[in-house]
Copies of this chain bind each other. A is one copy, B any other.
Amino acid sequence: METAHNPHLNHLLEALLKADYDRLFPNLEFIEMPLGQVLCESGDKLKHVYFPTTSIVSLLYVMENGASAEIAVVGNEGILGVPILLGGDSTPSRAVVQSAGYGYRMKALLLKNEFNQAGQLQRLLLRYTQALITQMAQTAVCNRHHSVEQQLCRWLLLSIDRLSGNELCMTQELIANMLGVRREGVTEAAGALQQLGLINYHRGHITVLDRKGLEAKSCECYQVVKNEFDRLLPALRV
């Protein structure tokens, strides 16, 4: 999908008008985002918004009994902090760095002010919001109807789309938390995919060998989400 992996590239920022980008740029802080970092706890007021570049952030719900489920994922195509824009400031979900890397952050209030100018920046971010909604809705459907193996395929595809290479650093335990299933379920599904030569798995390093094959094994949910992102945000296509 992408070509060279520019560690400073966030597609949403790139899609801004030059004037907007230039005004925002001095307020952007380039930061490291280590694996497992919690950017936002459930119910917390966000102080910053984040534009991942080489990192991936998961939005997850953690339930009273400790069970969890990922509801959406944000990478270099998006922004973390939509609730700021919508006016609620917080959400009941937690934001965790799922794949270590870098990104920009800026003060939430600054972006909120820009957003309230109701210009191209607002329109862009609202379209991104709709894409995010699609992802959540599709996750709901997928959770209801599809097997662990199908969901794993969807998840792998969504993840590598947001990275440059075809490799992910991620233990099966972590993936299980994201999908809200048992670790053993992931082991089994990943084993099957490896058997088929679609992926290579070794102690926290997954390499996707056959992207097309994965897409074929995946449920329709991946394509639906991808198509909506492409439709809503054509500017982001590389």
| Contact surface of A with B, Cβ cutoff 8 Å | 59, 61, 63-64, 67, 69, 71-72, 82-83, 85-88, 91-93, 116-118, 122-123, 126-127, 129-134, 136-141, 143-145, 180, 220, 224, 228, 231-232
Contacts and interface: CB of A to CB of B under 8 A. Distances in A.
How many copies are assembled?
Answer: 2
Given A123-B87, A180-B145, A71 B130 contact: no
A91 B134 contact: yes
Contacts of A126: 85-87
Shortest Cβ-Cβ A-B pairs, 3 listed: A118-B118, A140-B140, A86-B130
B64 A130 contact: no
Contact of A232 (B88, B116, B129, B140): B88
A160 to B, nearest CB: 22
A144 B180 contact: yes
Contacts of A86: 126-127, 129-130, 133
Contacts of A231: 88
A71 B117 CA distance: 32
A69 B140 contact: yes
